[in-house]
Amino acid sequence: MTSGFDAIILAGGRGSRMSGQTKPQLSVGNATMLEHVLLAVRDARTQVVVGPSQPVPDGVLLAQEEPPGSGPVAGLAAGLVHVTAPVFAVVAADLPFLTAGVVAVLLAGLEHDAGADVALLVDEQGRDQYLLGAWRATRLRAALAGLEPLSGHAMRDLVRAVEVVRVSVPAGGAELPAWTDVDTPTDLDRARSHARSHTALSPENVRSDPPQK
């Protein structure tokens, strides 16, 4: 696994489908979703949570995209200000089943492909999970500069501007996979009912495809 990485946790969004609640602070199992995600990136030397003001553990940085609510690309730029490692993980704050093993898979996928700028997780249906990946900081800075102004850009716009290696991991059978996000009350109920059934994945499960734009 790549050593000395940082982590950006994207915790923006208005939580409109969750009655306006601060979604990362909702509990799944014995911890909030943000706490689960922070545990998954616990090996990062710097952890930056990007989003509205909310409780974070000591040592975790809190940043805000400009303007507030302007989307994940602007959020990435706000978090990147605090990144000093050459490689960093990008994860959404509503992934309660994310594990350190899956983060390690992504970092390994990027490390094993010198020509890639980002390693993105691909789900079992072949869809890119834009908010679950490992990035090279220098290349992301260049790509962001080419998208100015950042407000209104979707993550797919950013991904099109870089070289991508796509990484897949086993979905875990009947368990909810690591990329399961929580957007609605129904999602939250399902996540809570399965909170004890997730199994950690290991870096040896990595499988990557050739870089694509």
For the cut 90, the answer to whether the pLDDT of residue 17 exceeds it is: no
User: What 3-state class would DSSP assign to 110?
Assistant: helix
CA 207 to CA 196: how far, in whole Å? 26
- The alpha helices in the chain, defined as continuous H runs, are 33-40, 72-80, 100-111, 137-145, 155-160, 185-193
Residues 183-210: pLDDT tens digits? 899 999 999 988 855 444 344 444 444 4
CB 141 within 8 A of CB 79: no
Euclidean distance between CA atoms 204 and 136, whole angstroms:
21
Domain map of the chain by residue range?
A: 6-189
Given a contact cutoff of 8 angstroms between Cβ atoms, the answer to whether 54 and 113 are in contact is no
What's the token pair of residue 73?
């690309």
Which tens digit of pLDDT belongs to each residue from 68-118? 888 899 999 999 999 999 999 999 999 999 999 999 999 999 999 999 999
**Which one of 3.40.50.80, 3.30.380.10, 3.90.550.10, 3.40.50.720 gives the CATH number of domain 6-189?**
3.90.550.10
CA dist list (Å): 16 to 10, 21, 22, 95 = 16, 8, 9, 18
What distance in Å separates the CA atoms of residue 61 and residue 47, rounded to the nearest whole number? 6
